[in-house]
Structure 1
Amino acid sequence: MSSPAGDVHLRDLRYFVAVADAASFTRAAEALFVSQPALSKQIRALETRLGVRLLDRGAAGLVLTAEGAALLPHARRLVDDWTRVREEVRRAGTAPMLLVGLQTTVGRDLTRRLLAATREHGASMQVRLVSWSDASSGLADGSVDVAFVWLPVIAPDLETRILSREPRWVALASDHPLAPRPEVTMTDLADEPFVALPRSAGALREFWLASPDRGSPAVVAAEADTAEGAIEAVASGTGVVLLAEGNARLLARPDVVCRPVSDLAPCELAVAWRRGDTRELVRAAVAALTGATDDADAGSGPPAPPTPRATPRR
């Protein structure tokens, strides 16, 4: 190889990572939308600048040399870092936005309060509906900044503050035998087929099946990724589903009736955010929802709310 000549270009590192990951010039060229000869030329140029051979064609196909294996993690990190820097630069000139995750219709005047708080901080707000299959309501993968969640949420990297405690109700098809009753018990529902959250919802699935309050496992007739899907299954007679009192009113429709379940503990609606996220907009969002005064210490995280109160029935 010739001696090093000049600085390495980020494009060459990106091409090298693609070839190393694909173990093929052909597949890497297709992924990069460049011709194979052009890609081979760039890799040779990179090897020339570094003064080492990075790839060998062996009996098993394309393999990294020792030098190539040493370069790969550093090249990958540089490419990833530049991608993040580029996105930050692109966002720098735009107004801040609060991304809010939710899995069911929230109502309860909560989104209006959030919107008012974001506008006070010169920001905008975007609401994203997240499937029940994501127990973090979009927080885990960073797609939202704060989220409305129903407890329990088993995620050690999330902080939560309870916003309301509400009785649990059950949704039934309008012609269900239990529909005429003013309220029901878990004994009444013990043998009923249930519409469940996806298994990936974990502890939340078990909570809405009332598993801790049963003598035997629930009969699961179907699973639903959204509240609307669950109510549709109820309307068709597939099964019944537990829901919060407030959502029973928000999701009301003529072919479904909702009744309180008298012997179940209430459910808890909370606001959640990633632990350690002390951005001003996130702090303001939590303060607006909990009614607390924001703390001047940015390292303390969003403040705790006053003692939670049950949301008045509407």
Structure 2
Amino acid sequence: MDAHLRELRYFVAAAEESTVTAAAARLFVSQPALSKQLRALERRLGFDLFDRGPRGLALTSQGSALLPVAREVLALWDRGYAEARAAAHPHQLVVGMQTAVGRDLQRPAVERFRARFPSWTVSLRLVGWDDPTAGLADGTSDVAFVWLPTAADLATRVLISEPRWVALPTAHPLADRAEIPFELLLDEPFVALPSAAGPLRDFWLAVADRPRPPVIAAEATAADEVLELVTAGVGIALLAEGNTDLYQRPGLTCRPVPNLPPAQLAVACRPDEPRKEVHHFITCVQP
């Protein structure tokens, strides 16, 4: 029995998220469509992959046996696709990012790289928060600037560690403070990253520093979308100190939040990346 890659991605996402709701959000499909696809796969396989209960999905023994195989197949395909794309465009380096990087990191890195490899072109690619690897996982980026933490298996080098600030509407009652202790923000509605962002979503909600779960007012897949929702008064959001200058706009105020662990920006590639050019670009990024 053959399974399509899309079906395997659906199965893995459902297994990792444990609910159809979270898996559907991660995959950008509707819940009914995902449930239908999972049921169809089970019928074709001849056995159930999940036990479905009021608390969500639990893998059956058959599903537990199939999950590591499905992950391996997808990883092999993604790696093969990346290698094939590199062969089709042998002198193109795609740099992924989740937000504007700024901090005078990209320009000198590109200049150093092109001085060493003048025949190569460098493309910059903005990737939504639904892919916390900024295109490395599916092979659409060769190297990436990513915010940590990430659940993916990546080779990373931390470039910058910065305090976390809070973005809030200028008319917010706390906006006049020089700094805002996090305990004053515990009951504020937050704009969250999508569930597919994994541990990065929890980091920007400061889940580890809360005595109770956050109030989620909305979700957003890009930095500009997050800040538009904040400016509109839908919710507030944490961001790195360096991004407060990059994303200034009318109606938005940013203030430091003391005592939260800092945000870390890293440059990353796949751990099995064989090309010397990719690794050279990483050495070219100097904070």
Matched, 1:167 2:163: yes
Mapped contact 1:102–1:129 kept (Cα < 8 A): yes
Matched, 1:103 2:132: no
**CA distance in 2: counterparts of 1:194 and 1:84, whole angstroms:** 36
Residue of structure 2 in register with 1:233 after alignment:
229
Residue of structure 1 in register with 2:11 after alignment:
none
Mapped contact 2:98–2:132 kept (Cα < 8 A): no
**What is the Cα deviation at residue 91 of structure 1?**
3.6
Offset from partner CA, 1:103-152 (integer Å, 9 cap, x none) = 10110111112211231111211011101001211000000011111100
**What is the Cα deviation at residue 89 of structure 1?**
6.6
**What is the Cα deviation at residue 249 of structure 1?**
1.2
Residue of structure 2 in register with 1:219 after alignment:
215
TM-score (norm 2): 0.69
1:126 pairs with 119, 123, 126, which one? 123
Residue of structure 2 in register with 1:154 after alignment:
151
Q: What's the C-alpha RMSD, in Å, of the aligned pairs?
A: 2.2
Residue of structure 2 in register with 1:266 after alignment:
262
Gaps of 5+ in 1: 1-19, 23-82, 292-314
Tell me, what secondary structure is at the counterpart of 2:273? coil
Residue of structure 1 in register with 2:16 after alignment:
none
Q: Which has the larger radius of gyration?
A: 1
**What is the Cα deviation at residue 161 of structure 1?**
0.4
Residue of structure 2 in register with 1:142 after alignment:
139
**What is the Cα deviation at residue 216 of structure 1?**
0.2
Equivalent residues in 2 for 1:87-98, closer than 5 Å: 90-91=88-89, 96-98=91-93
**What is the Cα deviation at residue 84 of structure 1?**
9.6
Aligned length: 208
Q: Which moved more, 1:147-156 or 1:161-170?
A: 147-156
TM-score (norm 1): 0.63
Mapped contact 1:161–1:290 kept (Cα < 8 A): no
Gaps of 5+ in 2: 5-80
**CA distance in 2: counterparts of 1:261 and 1:143, whole angstroms:** 35
Offset from partner CA, 1:241-294 (integer Å, 9 cap, x none) = 000000011101121000000121111000010002131211111111147xxx
Tell me, what secondary structure is at the counterpart of 1:172? strand
Cα pair distance change 1:21/1:179, threshold 3 Å: closer
Residue of structure 2 in register with 1:113 after alignment:
108
The answer to which structure, 1 or 2, has the higher relative contact order (CA under 8 A, 6+ apart) is 2
- Give the counterpart letter for 2:112 in structure 1: A
Give the ranges of 4+ consecutive aligned residues of structure 1 lying more than 2 Å apart after TM superposition: 83-92
1:179 pairs with 175, 182, 197, which one? 175
Residue of structure 2 in register with 1:288 after alignment:
284
